Chain A
Amino acid sequence: MQASPPLLAVEGITKRFGALEANNAVDLKVAPGEIHALLGENGAGKSTLVKIIYGLLRPDAGRLVWRGAPVAVESPRAARALGIGMVFQHFSLFEALTVAENVALALDGSAPLDEIAQRLSETSRAYGLPLDPKREVWRLSVGERQRVEIMRCLMQDPSLLILDEPTSVLTPQEAEGLFATLARLRAEGRSVLYISHKLDEVRRICEAATILRGGQVVAHCDPRAETAASLARMMMGGDVVPIRHDHIEAQGPVRLAVSALSLPPLHAHGIALANINLELRAGEVLGIAGVAGNGQDELFAALSGEELAPHDAAIVMDGVAVGRAGINERRRRGAAFVPEERLGHGAAPAMRLTENALLSGHATNGFLRYGLVERAKLTDFVGKVVRAFDVRKGPADPEARALSGGNLQKFVIGREIARKPGLLVVAQPSWGVDAGAAATIRQALMDLARAGSAVLVISQDLDELLEISDRLCVIFMGRLSPAMPTAEATRESLGLLMGGAGMAA
């Protein structure tokens, strides 16, 4: 099958960011007229690789071979000149300009606008992606904007089109339209590099796949010959870490009940929550797995009260409906929250630790007296957290941004646990944290649950969830699977759910 030279060959590409090896000797071949999937979990190195191919990053080692000849792709402009086009997950369109103007801006020539508009409307119809060239971009839906991005690439007549998670912003119907377009591109002999983590989709439209894990290629395969389960296993890694067996079946009272919670997306690229139901009892850790961008941010915002639920009864804490209550009222009822983003969300980077203690504790911890902030109490509290969680912080009261990621995370989590909350909702507890800090944090979460609190952990780290959760569910496209006991969960079954297989779309 590989008689003709591949259109693009990636040979031994390595890219480091400090200590992190984002790509390690990655090889990949895309044949002409092939739709090639690049599969992998978050952080597997997919984005780094395509940024190198598109000239946005320079590799530390390895080379790109284009139509049999080695090339140095210095910039996206150089990539376009070769015939590589890319559609990013986040669009780069000028909202106030029309579709035709946006396309004209990207073309290097200087054809008259009318001519471009004319060509655009013909080409877009031919590809089954109809567009009105005269409409302003701000009037378009997300799916239509993606069409503009794709058309903008196609107008440059590329031989290779890179699509980064294209269906993540599309409705199922729009996705069908996109697949038809891809089939047409293939028929014309163009190649597509298709980045995704959705297994069903990849099996349907791609005839080759490269699977990345931890920056390395773990397999080249034909996804049509694989099952969703085997792809999931390759993506997640077959190496089985010992799973704890003391998962308990909590019999305590229900601390948190979410019923029929729906919520619109937080922003243009967000995911709507659809009919979320869950129940969390005192004494247990419930894990929510899922690939990033499947509604985790929205779920966290809804649970914390940063985003209010449509009905009061959608969220019940300790028997009290709090769906319409703000975050501080929920805190006063014994809830505590740790968001995914430490700097800028959980903590203010340029503020001191004492001020960051005030940030989440001002409603509950009695830091105020006669309307004035009691500095001594804050200092005592920070000292307590620092000792309990072994936060290495240098000077007496440093700014949050001066702490390392692991130490800041220990502080942010310790700050909440020190209050002995009845309910703790935490997102990505050990994201970007060294192994020692991660172990401390996980132990603290389990201890908190064993002491009678209810702990909800939203994480993309399956190992972490398997280690600390008593029950698990998976969030995919804003929907939550029913919870299963961790003892019954396998990597394979979770991977399938995370890829959307077997879940009502």
Chain B
Amino acid sequence: MKLVMEKRSETPISLMLISPMIAVALTMISAAIMFALLGKDPVAALQTYFLDPLSDSWGLQEVAVKATPLVLIAVGLAVCYRAKVWNIGAEGQFLFGAMAGGYVAIITHGSTQGPWLLPVMLLMGAMAGACFALIPALLRTRFGANEILTSLMLVYVAELLLDYLVRGPWRDPAGFNMPNSVMFEPEATLPLLMAGGRLNIGTPIMIAVVLGFMLLMGRTLKGFEIRLVGEAPRAARFAGFSETGLVITVFMISGALAGLAGVLEAAGTVKQLQPGISPGYGFTAIIVAFLGRLNPIGCLFAGIFIAITFIGGENAQIMLRLPLDATRVLQGLLLFFVLVCDSLLLYRFRLLRGAAA
């Protein structure tokens, strides 16, 4: 007797939309059990996690601020993963973007600046992210090195470089030896969308990126190429597309978006460089990309959902004294259930009895 997985011939679209929702529901059930085991009231905990962040303007703004980097990175990763290129190092590309953009802010600190400053910072951030992502891409195309390992390991390079810079050359001279840079000048920070909140122009930029990538993936030849290389590499060759070129392109696209997210975070929310500038956005965005079915709009919704769990997790930490790790467990469970539901969609499970088929 053995269990076999058979590929389904065609998966209905309705199932593809329902699957992430089933995953979310299963996550909530598991979370409720976990909360109960931790001795908390599951209903109150779920409310704190998933509903309270949406109940006031402050919460909504926080969700948008959190979702912005997650969605930006996830949209880029989705492009990569569609091509079956596994960039796991978005965290490092994010940090490089923050460092490059932050560098512009730091060297212009205290001198006269113009309206060109922010665009230059954003451009530098995106370019730095793309260049940093080029390393694993070239290692794969030139030497056949596994990009999962190289891109992941480069995260530590980026983290330690940032750590060195803010403790050494870029440390704020007036910062009491704290490991951080100067606070950015107002010209080097993102304009707020409304007074008294934290929502800045990063969010509309993110939405524009989502729409742009919808168009790229759905309507252009490049988008078709990306999907085809991932779907059927041999057919992509037959279509005349170069896999080498595409690996480099998708790595640079995702690196650029991660870098852009990094500089937006540095200039928008943190307003300086410091080691803990990212609470693991680059890794969480992997969950967002898959939860969003590697589709830009899907990533937008998934990013918002994950952002809610972040804000909810902070609330729960304060109000219910739940450990922050509970949030991570929750996100891990979510990814797990998304992948399980996907396998159920794509495959039919069958139990074969006896030796002969």
Q: Say what secondary structure dominates the interface of chain B.
A: helix
Known contacts A345-B238, A348-B231; A58 and B224 CB within 8 A of each other: no
CB of B348 within 8 Å of the partner chain: no
Residues of A with C-beta under 8 A to B215 = 372
Nearest chain B CB to A382's CB is how many angstroms away? 15
CB of A304 within 8 Å of the partner chain: yes
CB of B66 within 8 Å of the partner chain: no
CB of B9 within 8 Å of the partner chain: yes
Complex CA–CA separation, A204 to B355 (angstroms): 40
CB under 8 Å from chain A, chain B span 201-229? 215, 219-221, 224, 227-228
A306, A358, A398: the one contacting B238 at CB < 8 Å is A306
CB of B328 within 8 Å of the partner chain: no
Asked if A58 and B219 sit within 8 Å, CB to CB, the answer is no
Asked if B224 and A360 sit within 8 Å, CB to CB, the answer is no
Residues of B with C-beta under 8 A to A74 = 355
Residues of A with C-beta under 8 A to B231 = 348-351
Q: Which of A109-117, A166-174, A213-221, A336-344 binds B?
A: A336-344
B219, B224, B227, B234: the one contacting A345 at CB < 8 Å is B234
Residues of A with C-beta under 8 A to B10 = 398-399, 401-402
Nearest chain B CB to A48's CB is how many angstroms away? 14
CB of B239 within 8 Å of the partner chain: yes
Residues of B with C-beta under 8 A to A326 = 240
Nearest chain A CB to B47's CB is how many angstroms away? 40
CB of B237 within 8 Å of the partner chain: yes
Asked if A362 and B355 sit within 8 Å, CB to CB, the answer is no
Residues of A with C-beta under 8 A to B234 = 341, 344-345
CB of B235 within 8 Å of the partner chain: yes
CB of B232 within 8 Å of the partner chain: yes
Asked if A360 and B239 sit within 8 Å, CB to CB, the answer is yes
Residues of A with C-beta under 8 A to B221 = 358, 362, 368, 371, 373
How many pairs of residues, A versus B, come closer than 8 Å at their CB atoms?
70
Residues of B with C-beta under 8 A to A305 = 240
Asked if A345 and B235 sit within 8 Å, CB to CB, the answer is yes
Asked if B235 and A58 sit within 8 Å, CB to CB, the answer is no
CB of B356 within 8 Å of the partner chain: yes
Complex CA–CA separation, A7 to B28 (angstroms): 64
Asked if B224 and A373 sit within 8 Å, CB to CB, the answer is yes
CB of A270 within 8 Å of the partner chain: no
Complex CA–CA separation, A347 to B234 (angstroms): 9
CB under 8 Å from chain B, chain A span 391-439? 398-399, 401-402
CB of A359 within 8 Å of the partner chain: yes
CB under 8 Å from chain B, chain A span 343-395? 344-351, 355, 358-360, 362-363, 368, 371-373
Asked if B219 and A372 sit within 8 Å, CB to CB, the answer is yes
Nearest chain B CB to A243's CB is how many angstroms away? 33
CB under 8 Å from chain B, chain A span 256-270? none
Residues of B with C-beta under 8 A to A339 = 238
Asked if B235 and A359 sit within 8 Å, CB to CB, the answer is yes
Complex CA–CA separation, A358 to B9 (angstroms): 22
A337, A344, A371, A373: the one contacting B232 at CB < 8 Å is A344
CB under 8 Å from chain B, chain A span 300-355? 304-306, 326-328, 331, 337, 339, 341, 344-351, 355
Known contacts A350-B231, A402-B9; A58 and B238 CB within 8 A of each other: no
Max chain B CB contacts within 10 Å: which of A341, A346, A348?
A: A348
Nearest chain B CB to A289's CB is how many angstroms away? 24
Nearest chain A CB to B216's CB is how many angstroms away? 10
Number of contacting residues on B, CB 8 A? 19
Complex CA–CA separation, A349 to B7 (angstroms): 12
B232, B239, B240, B356: the one contacting A58 at CB < 8 Å is B356
Residues of A with C-beta under 8 A to B228 = 348, 351, 355, 359
Residues of B with C-beta under 8 A to A306 = 237-238
A304, A346, A363: the one contacting B235 at CB < 8 Å is A346
B9, B237, B239, B356: the one contacting A362 at CB < 8 Å is B239
Residues of B with C-beta under 8 A to A341 = 234
Residues of A with C-beta under 8 A to B355 = 58, 74
Nearest chain A CB to B188's CB is how many angstroms away? 35
Residues of B with C-beta under 8 A to A373 = 219-221, 224
Complex CA–CA separation, A371 to B10 (angstroms): 30
Complex CA–CA separation, A351 to B231 (angstroms): 8
Q: Which residue of A lies closest to B225 (CB)?
A: A362
Q: Which residue of A lies closest to B8 (CB)?
A: A401
Asked if B237 and A347 sit within 8 Å, CB to CB, the answer is no
Asked if B240 and A328 sit within 8 Å, CB to CB, the answer is yes
Nearest chain B CB to A381's CB is how many angstroms away? 15
Residues of A with C-beta under 8 A to B356 = 58
Complex CA–CA separation, A339 to B232 (angstroms): 14
Q: Which residue of A lies closest to B239 (CB)?
A: A359
Complex CA–CA separation, A398 to B12 (angstroms): 11
Complex CA–CA separation, A349 to B230 (angstroms): 12
Complex CA–CA separation, A402 to B7 (angstroms): 12
Per-residue CB contact flags for chain B residues 238-257 toward chain A (1 = under 8 Å, else 0) read: 11100000000000000000
CB under 8 Å from chain A, chain B span 250-273? none
Complex CA–CA separation, A359 to B240 (angstroms): 9
Q: Which residue of A lies closest to B238 (CB)?
A: A345
Max chain A CB contacts within 10 Å: which of B215, B238, B355?
A: B238
Per-residue CB contact flags for chain A residues 56-77 toward chain B (1 = under 8 Å, else 0) read: 0010000000000000001000
Q: Which residue of B lies closest to A307 (CB)?
A: B237
Q: Which residue of B lies closest to A358 (CB)?
A: B224
Complex CA–CA separation, A399 to B7 (angstroms): 14
CB under 8 Å from chain A, chain B span 326-357? 355-356
> 8 A–B contact pairs at CB < 8 A?
A74-B355, A304-B238, A328-B240, A345-B235, A358-B221, A363-B240, A398-B10, A401-B10
Q: Footprint of B on A, CB under 8 Å?
A: 58, 74, 304-306, 326-328, 331, 337, 339, 341, 344-351, 355, 358-360, 362-363, 368, 371-373, 398-399, 401-402
Extra A-B contacts (17), CB below 8 Å, given A345-B235, A359-B235, A360-B238:
A58-B355, A306-B238, A326-B240, A331-B240, A344-B232, A347-B235, A348-B232, A349-B231, A351-B231, A355-B228, A359-B228, A359-B238, A360-B239, A362-B221, A371-B221, A373-B221, A399-B10
